[in-house]
Amino acid sequence: MSEQLMHYFDEQVVTDLEFDVIRIMLHDYCIGDTARIRSTDISPMIQRKDVVESLSLVKEFHRIRTEGYTFPALDYQELHREIRILAVRDSVLSEESFRHLIDASRLVNSLVAFFKQNKDTFVRLSTLHADVYHTTEIIDPIEKVFDIRGLVRDDASPELYRIRQEIQSVRRKINRNFNKELKEFIDKGWLADTKEGFVNERRVLAVMSTHKRKIPGMALGSSKTGNVTFIEPQANTALNFEFEMLQDDERKEIYRILMALTREIRKSLLLIEAYQKLLPELDFINAKTKLALEINADMPAISDEQEIDLINAYHPILLLTNKKSGNKTHAQSLRMDKFSRMLVISGPNAGGKSITLKTVGLLQIMLQSGLLIPASPNSKMCLFHSILTDIGDNQSIENQLSTYSYRLKRMKHFLDVANRRSLLLLDEFGTGSDPDLGGALAEVFFEELYNRKSFGVVTTHYGNIKLKASHLRNAINGSMLFDKESLEPLYRLDIGQPGSSFTFEVAEINGIPQALIEDAKSRLDINKVQMDNLIAELQKEKSEFEKLVANARKAELDALKAKESFESRQAKYEEKLQSQQEMIERNNHYLIRGRKMQTFIDQFATKGKGTQNKTLLEDVKKFITVEKTKIEDAKRADELKIKAAAKKQTKKKPKPELDLIKVGSLVKLVGGKQSGTVIELDGNNAVVAFGVFKTKVEKAKLAFIK
């Protein structure tokens, strides 16, 4: 896959957004060196087809791992060395190389069988094995030479079989002679405690040096102290030389067999090269999948429009860190598009501004690098050609000057390259210099970058930047919420208004005496203090208002459910009442008929037998005929009603607006006034956001607006 990588993606961005940590995690999930090298060099792409292809492969593998499919274990050895050797004429592969090749061929055969069986389910993954196929052209020749332990078989050739038979015969003679001598000299007491040993792979007697001249044979060595001499029995000297000659013959015959086998395997060189291409690719995708499972990641929609719509997104490294320590991680949701492409986030320190900014940047890099992200699959993200960061984590007094100089150089770089396809991430924008002077320069930079039509997330405490964002048409303020009652950050982003820095409240949390705080307030411009208090109060009132709205929405939904429950019970009661009424009428009808028949019976009993009964029987027949006609007329009337109802049902068209309801649609509850946005669809149900309140409701109870 030819990938065009992101412009202006430097190591500073990697460090600022901690993408190097993601690379290390990915590296550790890989099996082979090829995939590991790719993981350490992984970088964001800018072509939509490349990003979608890469993400889709991981998404399919994610389904394999989570939906109970039995997938072959990716346990393999890379084949670079084997490919190099096979490319050289008359070269010979080692026994270990043949084991690597047969293992790879068996694994690929299993993979081919899996994807053939599931080709309609995993369409993209199935295309990866286009250059390989199920075959035994590598397995069969190797199995003829090697046994299940990976050793050369005795019957690999007739000559090898003969040689090994002779080796066994000579070995038996050597052991028989040695054991005879061993027993004799043990009885004579001439041997040391160890009795025997091996020198140069020859079995020797461990003789006490004082008796060495008494034993016929060749001395092959002695112990360090010289107290023990190792002697080869004379009866085995010639046999040991014969044994070594046979071993040399065995090595030569095995070499000849492996050369012939290598020649046979060389015919499959192109297939082996395809193995080496396929297995590391699956290894790399599998590593991405393991990472996705670790951080609970999924694939968002890739939008052709310039927009970022993150729903319940997490910073993956923070998520894992908090998981280990048992702390809660707060999800963030935010939306940016061409009408709100510059987001200025303000609020208290330690309130989550930087984490929100880094979450946007890191997830964007991960996505464009082909990695699933920890966010709802209903999220939408676009692609950028460059990501530019200036994250001021280094705030020490000693290098404050150098920090500001660095940030100015960084800003000059941004001004040179930023455009409509750039994502800017500026943390603590404008800091590092005199607040008034630095704030003024920061405002100019901000407006210039805005005019470049770039997307950006900016965190700041500067009031002039917040004010500028409120005046620019396509910029928007956001604030990290802070509970003024408990004096604790809520780690929740609120879009639409700037936030207070809660400077004095945070100071109070950290134990600064109240007298000092009040003294500090008295030294500030009263208007600035009042403005900060006003923002804080507005933020508090907005939060309370949102709670009231949420409670009202909940009450409205509860009332709607109660109404539906009442109407359902009322309908059942009316249906039961109607059924009872019909039963009463039916029983009355039966009673009237019974009384009439009883009259006929009484008349028949009083009149007895005779001609008068003929008239009575005629009356009975007439009554029965009339009743039968009534029953048939009622039955026909019921059938006509059923046909009419069916005809009316076929003519009744389904509500077209239900089909129009999609994710992002503006809707309202039937009979309600408040509008909301559909953020998720699940069959006949929809999750609708009414302001900050989200609820699940049936689509049939929603009215489509636009």
Q: Can you give the pLDDT at residue 521?
A: 58
User: Are 397 and 326 spatial neighbours (Cβ–Cβ below 8 Å)?
Assistant: no
Distance, C-alpha 104 to centroid of its chain: 27
Res 568: pLDDT: 78
C-alpha span between 68 and 39 (Å, rounded): 27
Higher pLDDT, 294 or 662: 294
What value does the mean pLDDT take over residues 145-162? 94
CB atoms within 10 A of CB 121: 14
Rounded Cα distance between 660 and 703, Å, is 10
Q: Which CATH class is domain 156-258?
A: mainly alpha
349-387 pLDDT tens trace: 666 888 999 999 999 999 999 999 999 999 999 999 999
Q: Which residue has the higher pLDDT, 271 or 562?
A: 271
Q: Is 145 exposed, middle or buried (0-12, 13-18, 19+ CB in 10 A)?
A: buried
SS3 state of residue 50: helix
Is domain 301-511 given the CATH code 3.40.50.800 in the classification?
no
pLDDT in tens, 436-463: 677 788 888 899 999 999 999 998 888 8
SS3 451: helix
Confidence label for 656 from pLDDT (cuts 50, 70 and 90): low
Residue 530 has a pLDDT of 52
Sheet order of strands, 191-199 included: 191-199, 202-208, 228-233, 217-222
Select 20-138+268-294's CATH number: 3.40.1000, 1.10.1420, 3.10.50, 1.20.910. Answer: 1.10.1420
In sequence order, what DSSP letters do the residues of 463-517 get, joined into one string?
Answer: HHHHHHHHHSTTEEEEEEEEETTTTEEEEEEEESS-----HHHHHHHTT--HHHH
The pLDDT value recorded for residue 275 is: 97
| Residue 161, pLDDT score | 96
Same CATH topology for 20-138+268-294 and 655-706: the answer is no
Q: Is the confidence at residue 531, as pLDDT, over 70?
A: no
List pLDDT tens digits, range 402-447: 566 777 888 888 999 999 999 999 988 766 665 667 778 888 889 9
**Residues counted in the chain:** 706
pLDDT at 520: 64
Quote the pLDDT of residue 256.
96
Query: CA-to-CA distance for 371 and 504, rounded, in angstroms?
Result: 42
Average pLDDT over residues 628-656: 69
What strands lie across the sheet with 301-302, from one edge to the other? 301-302, 380-381, 308-313, 332-336
What's the confidence (pLDDT) of residue 391? 85
Q: What angle do CA 86, 88, 90 make, to 5 degrees?
A: 90
332, 313 Cβ separation under 8 angstroms:
yes
Domain ranges within the chain, ordered by starting residue = 20-138+268-294, 156-258, 301-511, 554-654, 655-706
List Cα–Cα distances, 473 to 233, 450, 456, 598, in angstroms.
Answer: 102, 10, 14, 93
335-356 pLDDT tens trace: 999 999 999 998 776 668 889 9
Q: Which of 166-175, 237-246, 633-642 has the lowest mean pLDDT?
A: 633-642
Range of weakest confidence among 72-76, 103-107, 153-157, 652-656: 652-656
Short-list 156, 231, 220, CA closest to 191: 231
pLDDT range class, residue 1, cuts 50, 70, 90: very low
Q: Which of 209-218, 457-466, 493-502, 529-538 has the lowest mean pLDDT?
A: 529-538
Across the chain, mean pLDDT equals 84
At residue 297, φ and ψ (nearest 5 deg) are -95, 160
CA distance 232 to 199: 9
Candidates 59, 132, 98, 448; CA nearest to 288 is 59
Question: Which fold would CATH assign to domain 655-706?
Answer: SH3 type barrels. (2.30.30)
pLDDT tens-digit profile of 7-63?
888 888 999 999 999 999 999 999 999 999 999 999 999 999 999 999 999 999 999
Position with higher pLDDT, 314 vs 435: 314
Q: With contact defined as beta carbons under 8 Å apart, do 430 and 463 qualify?
A: no
